[in-house]
Amino acid sequence: MDRDFNRVIKSENNAQYDKRCSLRTDNPKKILVHRVPYLMTATRLGKVEIVKNRSIWIENGTIQDVCGDVEAESYISKADLIYDASLEGGVVVTPGFINTHAHSHMYLMRSTLLLEEGEDIDQTIAAMPRWQQFETDESMCIAAIGDFTEQQKYGITTTLSQGPSFEAIELAAEKTRQRAFNAVSAVSNSRPQNTVALVEQQIQAKRNVHSIPAVSIHYLYKASDETLREIKRLVEQYNILFTFHLAESEFVRNACVENYGKTEIDRLEHAGLLNDRTICSHAIYLHEKEVERLIDGHVGIAHLPTSNAIHKSGRFALELFYKRGGHNRISLGTDSVISKSRLDLLTESFQTKLTHLNFHALTYAELFKMMTINAAEILGLSSVGIIAPGYKADIAFWALKDRGFIPYDEKNPISLLGNMINHGGRITRDLMIDGVFIISNRIHNFIHETRLLELVQAEHMHIREKFREL
């Protein structure tokens, strides 16, 4: 990477702590999050709770205890860092949110393909390669750093990103500390040279990586039967996830039948991919029997209501998943900045509630689970999505004295959750991943954001000028 890129990376010891924090040693491993006014989490049994006056004891990135403030006094003398959550009006803590569908390499494309009103998803997809032909691994890495840091500001700590470059997402995940699934494309619009064999080479060469390897394709109709069989082999041999866009438009659904004589669900089943290692996004143009087959196969769903609306793709039949008992496999995703300009899941939760209001009245607790335990389940992550002993310390800290929370019912604090989702996207005050403060007092500890934005803008214009010459 060049000198300009390196300017956006802060030194490892650059973490900034404010007056909430009492730091006793550099690189703290034992952390007490003390006197939390409200802790919001799902439980292992799937119940969403908001409890008052709790403290969280963390060692080496893992939550060891969640207890009352009085019981937490025994940890004070042992702590390397004490975060007093009661100061300056207090905070609400939640698990870090989990985004099951992103295209982080596309961050430079904000404002490129939404300039023409009326464009549908098929036209958008057809236009993408003209821009993406000018992208390099370096430009996609810059894009992914922009994408991950924006998600982090909105409380997202885990992301499944689908794209053509393993290296770009890997380096961005390492530099931002994002917990990332790196679903590299085996069949790519922008990189026709991508193959299953290339994906396997990257997995084999990258055993000790920050990101978690996975495999993806955009649409099934572009993948041969042999390609799907090879993807199945990779999934089993390397215990990785497979993700793709399912039935995003009528054209996509019909193209699969025309090319192969089978529906997308039939092809998945025939290839041995109709199982819990597969995550489908969109899933719009499906019959009820096909929904039943997805549920029976324990396939994960990334629901993207904003993207579906912007591109006029159609409406995901969420009510059928509830009718058939498959709702716990539904999560939420942001998609890319082409499809959702604001990369947060709180506004996506609100959009989900509005989209399905006349078909299935979702509770705020159900929406919260889509962002946390449902997403963790379909990603196969047993140690994130909950604030409880044994779970990773992926925690978002939200200012309580904020219009997104106040006023609320102090006697029934579940109203905080409704307020949080209804108010829409907001910036987290502090963010922790794996017991490390990634954001402190709204400032990123590992990325110079001003320099990053300058670099994103310069790279965007560099590609845009080439795009204009076409």
pLDDT in tens, 40-66: 999 999 999 999 999 999 999 999 999
Q: Yes or no: is domain 97-379 CATH 3.30.365.10? A: no
DSSP 45: T
**Average pLDDT of the chain to the nearest whole number:** 92
Which amino acid type is present at position 403? Answer: R
Cα–Cα distance between 102 and 245 in angstroms, integer?
11
Express as a percent the part of the chain with pLDDT over 90: 80
pLDDT tens digits for range 227-278: 999 999 999 999 999 999 999 999 999 999 999 999 999 999 999 999 999 9
Q: Count of CB atoms within 10 A of residue 209's CB?
A: 18
CB 85 within 8 A of CB 37: yes
The alpha carbon dihedral of 293, 296, 302, 305 has a sign of: positive
Cα–Cα distance between 149 and 452 in angstroms, integer?
10
Identical fold for domains 21-96+385-444 and 97-379, yes or no, is no
Half-sphere exposure of 9 (CA within 13 A, CB side): 18
| 331, pLDDT greater than 70 | yes
To which H or E segment does residue 319 belong? helix 318-323
| Per-domain residue ranges of the chain | 21-96+385-444, 97-379
| 32, pLDDT greater than 70 | yes
pLDDT of residue 121: 64
Q: Predicted confidence band at 119 (pLDDT cuts at 50, 70, 90)?
A: low
Residue, of 136 and 278, whose pLDDT is higher? 278
- In angstroms, the Cα distances linking 383 to 215, 374, 468 are 22, 13, 47
pLDDT tens digits for range 192-232: 788 999 999 988 876 678 999 999 999 999 999 999 999 99
The residue ranges of DSSP E strands in 46-203, in sequence order, are 48-59, 62-68, 81-84, 91-95, 97-102, 156-163, 179-187
| 395, pLDDT greater than 60 | yes
Q: Yes or no: is domain 21-96+385-444 CATH 3.30.360.10? A: no
Q: Predicted confidence band at 123 (pLDDT cuts at 50, 70, 90)?
A: low
